[in-house]
């Protein structure tokens, strides 16, 4: 039997998907036939225009729903407003880099809320829908930092380890149903979240931009290359295929060998 990825008739809701990895996943899931719900906390014309472009290029239905993933009630509203939710991608994330004694408490709270607690709220509303629809995929975007740590990223590492734990619990609670839950753990992908870390890391290590890229970021990525948003999208699409039906409760590293070190 040949496995194909045909997501026609399914709806994918991707949090934090007006840029970067979330957007790359939206494109790939749309190419596989899924209708798309994009999300971020803004409500700009450009946000809706991205949805229109995906719909025009791929022929699926795509729309944008504004909801702030730092707020539990808005996370829940997103899934309610989406209507169908066959594929839930918890991707929204932010970063802040500082040593623990200097780490602002409000940044800690925001990172835990957006990078981890949002997935709890969206999953809580999505699972009953998946059960009713008889099929579901929960894909949590964790990180190599969900499996290992780096200095100065206390909140991020804690949140990403936390979402890996939530992924396992989600998988166990759905294990006997046609629903899977997995975490994708990217290494460094050159997206706006990474671009924004470069100045802070330059300051932290007193290094040039090129030094930070080669000797801090890609130092731990043995391939010495950034992973791409298209590769993240392809991995998400694979997790939605029948070939992946028995893959649940695990992490898939897309990190150029980082976690093999």
Tokens of residue 85, six digits: 């939710």
Q: What one-character DSSP code corresponds to residue 245?
A: T
20 contributes a contact to ligand NAD by CB under 6 A = yes
Distance CA 86, CA 136 (A): 5
In the region spanning residues 30 to 59, those forming contacts with ligand NAD, defined by CB under 6 A, are 40-41
Interface residue with ligand NAD among 14, 92, 138, 236 (CB under 6 A) is 92
The DSSP bridge partners found for residue 227 are: 189
Taking alpha carbons only, the member of 64, 8, 24 closest to residue 192 is: 24
Taking alpha carbons only, the member of 153, 160, 161 closest to residue 102 is: 153
**Binding range to ligand NAD, per CB under 6 A, among 5-13, 129-137, 164-172, 191-199:** 191-199
89 contributes a contact to ligand NAD by CB under 6 A = no
Cβ(64)–Cβ(38) below 8 Å = yes
18 contributes a contact to ligand NAD by CB under 6 A = yes
117 contributes a contact to ligand NAD by CB under 6 A = no
233 contributes a contact to ligand NAD by CB under 6 A = no
106 contributes a contact to ligand NAD by CB under 6 A = no
The least CB distance from residue 178 to ligand NAD, in Å, is 26
The least CB distance from residue 18 to ligand NAD, in Å, is 5
Residue 193 vs 243, nearer CB to ligand NAD: 193
Distance CA 28, CA 26 (A): 6
Q: Which residues lie closer than 8 Å to 250 by C-beta, 6 or more apart?
A: 171, 182, 183
**Binding range to ligand NAD, per CB under 6 A, among 6-14, 131-139, 183-191, 201-209:** 183-191
Residue 156 designated active-site: yes
Which active-site residues does the annotation give?
156
């Amino acid at each position: 039997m040949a496995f194909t990825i045909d997501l026609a008739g399914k709806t994918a809701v991707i949090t934090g998907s007006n840029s970067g990895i979330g957007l790359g996943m939206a494109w790939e899931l749309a190419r596989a036939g899924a209708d798309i719900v994009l999300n971020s906390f803004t409500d700009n014309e450009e946000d809706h225009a991205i949805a229109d472009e995906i719909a025009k290029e791929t022929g699926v239905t795509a729309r944008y729903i504004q909801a702030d993933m730092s707020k539990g009630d808005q996370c829940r509203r997103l899934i309610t407003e989406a209507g169908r939710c066959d594929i839930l991608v918890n991707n929204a994330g932010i970063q802040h880099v500082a040593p623990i004694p200097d780490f602002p408490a409000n940044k800690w709270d925001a990172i835990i809320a957006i990078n981890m607690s949002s997935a709890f709220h969206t999953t809580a509303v999505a699972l009953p829908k998946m059960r009713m629809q008889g099929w579901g995929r929960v894909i949590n975007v964790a990180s190599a930092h969900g499996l290992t740590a780096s200095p100065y990223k206390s909140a991020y590492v804690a949140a990403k380890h936390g979402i890996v734990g939530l992924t396992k619990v989600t998988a166990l609670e759905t294990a006997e149903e046609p629903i899977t839950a997995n975490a994708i753990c990217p290494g460094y992908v050159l997206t706006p979240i990474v671009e924004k870390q470069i100045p802070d890391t330059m300051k932290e290590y007193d290094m040039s931009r090129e030094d930070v890229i080669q000797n801090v970021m890609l130092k731990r990525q043995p391939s010495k290359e950034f992973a791409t948003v298209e590769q993240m999208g392809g991995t998400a699409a694979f997790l939605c295929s029948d070939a992946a039906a028995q893959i649940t409760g695990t992490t898939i590293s897309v990190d150029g060998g980082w976690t093999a070190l």
